[in-house]
């Protein structure tokens, strides 16, 4: 191989990205319980603030929770993110807890099929989407707890 070809190949490798960075993420949400009313807030996070600090989300969209399935698109320039969806039934911008004061009464959905457990909310490490996960539509099913007794 000529020196020119070797240098050209090296130059291409030097500028090639080391990881896949997505320009857009598409999210398909299912299992929305529309009879509960309220709004659906979809949040795309970097590692900071996930999943509790909603104000730290990189991108956020809030829409009426009036369809059982919805699609969302976000412009991003990241090689890894995690998604949280909150069905805010009472409009207080907080995840309302059930009678235990620990588990959510409102609907939640997370990337990679993560869920709230007795140990707490899902971690960023387990929820994050990387590389090819960001190219294909991300499918998230909403999960609901029981409402707090009044």
In a domain, 127, yes or no: yes
Does the structure show a pLDDT above 90 at 149?
A: no
In a domain, 4, yes or no: no
In a domain, 49, yes or no: yes
In a domain, 148, yes or no: no
The domain total for the chain is 1
28 falls in which pLDDT band (50, 70, 90)? very high
In a domain, 12, yes or no: no
In a domain, 5, yes or no: no
In a domain, 10, yes or no: no
**pTM, entire model:** 0.82
CATH number, domain with residue 49? 2.60.40
- Which of 110, 112, 109, 115 has the alpha carbon at shortest distance from 133? 112
Half-sphere exposure of 65 (CA within 13 A, CB side): 25
DSSP assignment, residue 120?
Answer: B
**Whole-number Å distance between alpha carbons of 15 and 130:** 20
Question: Do the strands 80-88 and 39-45 form a parallel or antiparallel pair, or are they unpaired?
Answer: antiparallel
Query: Which residue is listed with tokens 């099913």?
Result: 141
Domain of 46 in residue numbering reads as 20-141
**pLDDT tens-digit map of 100-119:** 888 899 999 999 999 998 88
DSSP assignment, residue 5?
Answer: H
In a domain, 82, yes or no: yes
């Amino acid at each position: 191989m000529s020196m020119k070809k070797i240098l050209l190949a090296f130059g291409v490798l030097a500028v090639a990205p080391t990881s896949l960075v997505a320009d857009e993420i598409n999210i398909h949400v299912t299992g929305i319980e529309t009879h509960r009313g309220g709004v659906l807030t979809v949040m795309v996070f970097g590692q900071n603030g996930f999943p509790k600090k909603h104000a730290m989300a990189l991108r956020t969209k809030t829409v009426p929770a009036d369809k059982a399935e919805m699609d969302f698109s976000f412009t991003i320039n990241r090689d890894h993110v995690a998604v949280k969806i909150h069905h805010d039934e009472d409009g207080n911008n907080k995840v309302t807890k059930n009678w235990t004061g620990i588990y959510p009464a409102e609907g939640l959905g997370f990337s990679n099929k993560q869920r709230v457990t007795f140990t707490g909310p899902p971690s960023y490490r387990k929820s994050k989407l990387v590389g090819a996960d960001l190219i294909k539509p991300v499918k998230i099913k909403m999960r609901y707890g029981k409402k707090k007794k009044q």
